[in-house]
Homo-oligomer: A and B are copies of this chain.
Amino acid sequence: MSSGGSEMQDTADRGSRRAGRGGGREARRAARAGGGGGGARLPYVTRRYKPFEVLDEEGLSIVENNADTVLQEIGIEFRDDPETLEIWRQAGADVQGERVRFERGMLRSIIQASAPSEFIQHARNPANSVKIGGDATVFVPAYGPPFVRDLDNGRRYATIEDFRNFVKLAYVSPALHHSGGTVCEPVDLPVNKRHLDMVYSHIRYSDKAFMGSVTAPERAEDTVAMANLVFGEEFVDDNCVVINLINANSPMTFDATMLGAMKVYARANQACVVTPFILAGAMSPVTVAGTLAQVLAEVLAGVALTQLVRPGAPVVFGTFASSISMQSGAPTFGTPEPALVTYGAAQLARRLGIPFRSGGSLCASKIPDAQAAYESAATIQPALLAGVNFMLHSAGWLEGGLAMGYEKFVMDADQCSMLQTFCNGVDLSENGQAMDAIREVGPGSHYLGCAHTQANFETAFWRSRIADNNSFEQWQAEGEQDAAQRANTLWKKMLRDYEPPALDPGIDEALGEFIAKKKAAVPDSNI
């Protein structure tokens, strides 16, 4: 595939056009076909509605003005990274020690001069390439948990086998459009080498788009090198094939690790998701408007830096917004204030003109119970209506991100499928209007057997793979299972039925050689 650049572009464009036109019927049929062994998939979500908004023009101006004040008066710290300070000096910012201050509007001008409003992230299977930005939403698995949990074994440290399992589960989940990044931390592997196995797992066990390593600049370099082996150097330099999570150390600080990885990826023309990681009350003020001003200031600084490093590099406005309990200091999820932050930040991103990342199926619950579901729904539903483009943490998240749940993963994927069908909107075709059905049936009868119902039988309604809609008596006779127990059965079946996508043996061999050489070059280390 290393020379297939233009073909992939064409196919991705076709995929995009198909998604743009794609009726609910096609999407629903694909959804039902999912979960088998192979490449069952839906195109990314194309939202057919105007986003829901919580701030008016005046509110947005207040927040933008306050962000400019933060950047001008207080500034942002860029720690332990003289190169970045030099970039800012060259750009005309006010650099004093590690503190950098910016004239009002300066960063917005830099960003709007070159940052793309949307871009395609290419997957090694072009049918799985995703649009990031505009009216597209991409559902991406959860990122980062050191633990995993399932009903059989409870909570335990994650391993590379768990990592592969979640890559496989995402691969066979039609409404997960992306393979994600650190779907769990494979703590059985040394810290300084595990990124090689993670990136390889995404390439080998899936053919959806994936995320790169950001835990050290040299690990980012390794990610780009592996992407070059798969896509070809020239294609990678021209196109986004890997997207990467760059967190700010809020408040108003970026550290050398994240700056280093960011510069590697921006120089390689790969996408950075610049994300202030905010638990309001700890890393930002306890108010929504205060949090939004700080988030915007931090994002403007990080995003502008990518454009100074390489104008036109793909970049995403990220927020991770939650709050802390004022009683215990513990993070909380599914509460109303972070939903307001997400809506507001999405509006700010649209005004800035770049794609937006937030949301996901976040929860504080330790187990896949009603708390987990309420909190997850109260995070991902607002994020979808806000117009999030890159929905990290869409599936699997438990316990404030400390654990990746097998049952939670397939439950959340089921909800993503539901939300994707919602986004297809109302079919106003003649068949959708169904006047013949109403005429045929008439008052006091029913539609169960009418011609229109029969004609639409296959595609009429979205169908959950986990919900039990049977009678009480039947549910009782079948053992009174809860949703988690049914999800347990489902993920095991999905892993049993999994079949890996094809991978060019030459590419696989090249990746193996690269990884072996890298692993042999330095001793194992856990920092």
> Interface residues, chain A, CB within 8 Å of chain B?
48-50, 52-55, 58-59, 62, 66, 69-70, 73-77, 79, 99, 155, 249, 251-253, 280-294, 323-332, 334-337, 339-340, 344, 364-378, 381-382, 385, 399-400, 402-403, 411, 415, 418-419, 421-422, 425-428, 431-435, 437-439, 441-448, 452-453, 456-458, 460-464, 466-472, 475, 480, 482-484
Contact = CB atoms under 8 A, between A and B. Distances in A.
A367 B482 contact: yes
Contacts of A453: 281, 285-286
A317 B51 CA distance: 26
A469 B364 contact: yes
A438 B287 contact: no
A99 B443 contact: yes
A444 B251 contact: yes
Given A372-B370, A411-B370, A469-B325, A286 B434 contact: yes
Given A48-B54, A286-B437, 5 more contacts: A75-B443, A285-B453, A335-B462, A369-B484, A371-B373
A290 B432 contact: yes
Given A52-B52, A369-B483, A70 B438 contact: yes
A426 B60 CA distance: 11
17 contacts: A59-B426, A69-B435, A249-B444, A251-B442, A251-B443, A251-B444, A280-B461, A285-B437, A287-B433, A287-B460, A335-B464, A336-B421, A364-B469, A367-B480, A369-B484, A370-B370, A381-B381
Contacts of A399: 472
Contact of A428 (B62, B324, B461, B469): B62
B293 A435 contact: yes
Nearest to A407: B370
Contact of A425 (B54, B99, B422, B437): B54
A352 to B, nearest CB: 18
A484 B253 contact: no
A336 B422 contact: yes
B326 A457 contact: yes
B426 A483 contact: no
Nearest to A374: B373
Contacts of A437: 285-286, 290
A286 B464 CA distance: 17
Given A50-B53, A290-B433, A443-B75, A336 B469 contact: no
Contacts of A364: 467-469
Copies in the complex: 2
A454 to B, nearest CB: 10
Contacts of A282: 446-448
A400 B403 CA distance: 32
Contacts of A251: 438, 441-447
A447 B49 contact: no
A293 B418 CA distance: 24
Most buried by B among A73, A99, A252: A252
A155 to B, nearest CB: 7
Contacts of A415: 374, 378
A334 B418 contact: yes
A291 B456 CA distance: 14
Contacts of A155: 472
B340 A425 contact: yes
A334 B411 CA distance: 13
Contacts of A422: 336, 339-340
Given A76-B443, A438-B251, A442-B74, A326 B381 contact: no
A99 B444 CA distance: 11
A267 B397 CA distance: 55
Given A76-B443, A374-B377, A377-B374, A433 B336 contact: no
Contacts of A421: 336-337
Given A433-B66, A444-B249, A328 B425 contact: no
A52 B290 contact: no
Most buried by B among A369, A437, A471: A369
A397 to B, nearest CB: 13
Nearest to A59: B428
A66 B370 CA distance: 41
A256 to B, nearest CB: 13
Nearest to A377: B377
